[in-house]
Amino acid sequence: MEINFLNFSDPKQNRYFLLTGGEIALKQDALTKILDTLNNQGFIQKISLNQDEVDQAEEIISRNSESSLFQENLIIYMKHTSGRFPESIKRLLEQNFLYNSTNIAIIIESSIEKTPTSGTWIRNLDKYGLIINCKKLKQDEEKLWLKRQLDFLPKNLLPLFGASIFQNNEKDLLNQKNEVNLLKLLFLNEKDHESNTTDHITFHSGLSAFEIEDMIIEKDYKKAVETINYLKESSDQNSAPIIWIIAKIINSCLETLQSSNKRSTLKKNGVWPSKINSYLALIKNSKTTDFLELNQELLKVDLMNKGILKPNPWEQIEKIILKLKGATS
């Protein structure tokens, strides 16, 4: 069956998916829903294949066949990013045995804009799976999508925030999604906050916010600066989400330096357990005064981002990262 993204809400019992169209944000939303549903059905293990690796899919499926001693519920995620739809995936989807398997789920994310109307492979997907069209939205569709994203807001605030986000980011769903995630951090309670951390903030390059956080807490400041400069040059990305990421790191470090129970403080600040040791190593030789000064620098960049101060906020972000390097050396 083929549906438009706005009509997609539940993958139900489907285990074969094709995501088409050019809207990255919609594909990410669809992929999240699909993976959550499959995980609940016992499909935990996932193998990802990029465009140069999709030829391996049939062998992987064969090794994991139901007659195999080591079979497990397996998700195979294939990403087709450019050019014609790969012949190897077509051949795989033409195989009837695939749809009789109970322990294989397949997700194909493709760059094709239009779904072909003929071919055994597409007829099989239409019959046994779900084709989700993630095309660019028209203006009314975009407003509907944004309204659904903001369903956590009090009704009296929805027009205010919705209008602001749409006017500043029309036709840019990734930026809209980033702004929505920032709002969630303000409006959702602590329990819900755990599922809305920085890794939901994604930039046009496909880079997620937690990767920038990792660069900083692992003291890879050179790569962090290069990444910030790339984001600045490669798109009109709003710097607000990046400011928030850096603010989270600095505030978490500052509160931890002032605390007698450092691990508990980091956990309270939303730091993942797997990253706590990296944060502790980051501030091992740091002083509270250095991080108080960094907080003042953050205030400047926030004012620049709002247009109250004239200097370039991107340059201030780079300056803060270099100061952070000095404070944690």
What pLDDT, on a 0 to 100 scale, did the predictor assign at position 209?
66
Q: Please provide the CATH number assigned to the domain covering 197-327.
A: 1.20.272.10
CATH of 2-133, one of 3.40.50.300, 3.10.450.50, 3.90.380.10, 3.10.20.30: 3.40.50.300
CB 89 within 8 A of CB 78: yes
- The backbone torsions φ and ψ at residue 81, rounded to the nearest 5 degrees and listed phi first, read -105, -20
Q: Which amino acid, 295?
A: N
Alpha carbon distances (Å) from 263 to 43, 107, 145, 189, 195: 33, 39, 39, 21, 20
pLDDT tens digits, 265-277: 998 877 888 889 9
Q: Which amino acid, 178?
A: N
What pLDDT, on a 0 to 100 scale, did the predictor assign at position 197?
47
What pLDDT, on a 0 to 100 scale, did the predictor assign at position 192?
47
Cα separation, 159 vs 155, in Å, equals 8
Alpha carbon distances (Å) from 200 to 32, 125, 174, 178, 216: 10, 29, 11, 8, 18
Listed residue (105, 112, 118) closest to 133, CA to CA = 112
What pLDDT, on a 0 to 100 scale, did the predictor assign at position 325?
94
Domain range list for the chain: 2-133, 197-327
Spell out, as residue ranges, where the chain has pLDDT lower than 70. Answer: 66-71, 156, 185-209, 234-241, 302-311
Taking the complete model, does pTM exceed 0.75, yes or no?
A: no
Helix axes 173-187, 139-149, angle to 10 degrees: 20
**Mind spelling out the 3-state secondary structure of the chain?**
CEEEHHHCCCCCCCCEEEEECCCHHHHHHHHHHHHHHHHHCCCCEEEEECCCCHHHHHHHHHHCCCCCCCCCCEEEEEEECCCCCCHHHHHHHCCHHHHHCCCEEEEEEECCCCCCCCCHHHHHHHHHCEEEECCCCCHHHHHHHHHHHCCCCCCCCHHHHHHHHHHHCCCCHHHHHHHHHHHHHHHCCHHHHCCCCHHHCECCCCCEHHHHHHHHHCCCHHHHHHHHHHHHHHCCCCCHHHHHHHHHHHHHHHHHHCCCCHHHHHHHCCCCHHHHHHHHHHCCCCCHHHHHHHHHHHHHHHHHHCCCCCCCHHHHHHHHHHHHHHHCC
